[in-house]
C-alpha cells in the first residue's frame, strides 16, 4: 500500500472531514492523518472503474456533497472503458479476473439501460 500525505496546500483550506471525504472517494481510508489507498491490482483497477460508473449512474452519493448525481455520458464512458479493457486483456486474465470483469460489465449495462 502507498501512503499519501496531503500537501500543505491541499490540507490548509479544508477541514479534516473534507480530507477524509476525498480519501474515501478515492477508495482509501485515513490512518494517522494519511490517506492510504488500496493496493494496485487488476481487480482494484476494475473495481475503481465500477465505482466511477456507479457514481455517474447516480447509485453512489458524492461523499463531499452527500447528494446523488447522474451523468449518463460519463457512466457510458466508464462502461465503454471496461469493455475495451475486456477486449484488450482477452486471454491474459486469470479466471477470477475474467469473471469479475464480465460480471461488472453485465451489471453496469443493466443499470445503465434501466436509467433510460
Is residue 87 over pLDDT 70? yes
Instruction: Count the domains in the chain.
Output: 2
Separation in Å, CA 16 to CA 60, 63, 66, 67, 85:
22, 13, 16, 20, 36
- The answer to whether the beta carbons of residues 79 and 97 sit under 8 Å apart is no
pTM of model > 0.95: no
> Is residue 30 domain-shared with residue 47, that is, in the same domain?
no
> Is residue 47 domain-shared with residue 32, that is, in the same domain?
no
pLDDT of residue 9: 38
Residue 75's domain spans which residues? 42-115
pLDDT of residue 26: 74
> Is residue 19 domain-shared with residue 63, that is, in the same domain?
no
> Is residue 26 domain-shared with residue 47, that is, in the same domain?
no
Give the best-scoring range by mean pLDDT among 1-5, 27-31, 82-86: 82-86
pLDDT of residue 16: 58
> Is residue 64 domain-shared with residue 32, that is, in the same domain?
no
> Is residue 91 domain-shared with residue 66, that is, in the same domain?
yes
Q: Closest by alpha carbon to 32, among 1, 9, 64?
A: 1
User: Cα Rg for the chain, rounded, in angstroms?
Assistant: 16
> Is residue 66 domain-shared with residue 100, that is, in the same domain?
yes
> Is residue 48 domain-shared with residue 13, that is, in the same domain?
no
pLDDT of residue 12: 36
> Is residue 23 domain-shared with residue 50, that is, in the same domain?
no
Rounded Cα distance, 46 and 42, in Å:
6
> Is residue 103 domain-shared with residue 47, that is, in the same domain?
yes
> Is residue 21 domain-shared with residue 52, that is, in the same domain?
no
Rounded Cα distance, 109 and 24, in Å:
25
The string of pLDDT tens digits covering residues 7-41 is 433 433 345 577 787 887 777 888 988 899 888 99
> Is residue 105 domain-shared with residue 50, that is, in the same domain?
yes
Amino acid at each position: 500500500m502507498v501512503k499519501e500525505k496531503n500537501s500543505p496546500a491541499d490540507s490548509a483550506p479544508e477541514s479534516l472531514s473534507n480530507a477524509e471525504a476525498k480519501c474515501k472517494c478515492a477508495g482509501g481510508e485515513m490512518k494517522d492523518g494519511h490517506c492510504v489507498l488500496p493496493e494496485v491490482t487488476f481487480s482494484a483497477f476494475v473495481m475503481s472503474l465500477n465505482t466511477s460508473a456507479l457514481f455517474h449512474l447516480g447509485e453512489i452519493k458524492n461523499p463531499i456533497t452527500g447528494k446523488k448525481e447522474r451523468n449518463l455520458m460519463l457512466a457510458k464512458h466508464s462502461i465503454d472503458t471496461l469493455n475495451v479493457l475486456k477486449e484488450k486483456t482477452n486471454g491474459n486474465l486469470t479466471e477470477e479476473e475474467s469473471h469479475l470483469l464480465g460480471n461488472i460489465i453485465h451489471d453496469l449495462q443493466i443499470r445503465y439501460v434501466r436509467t433510460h
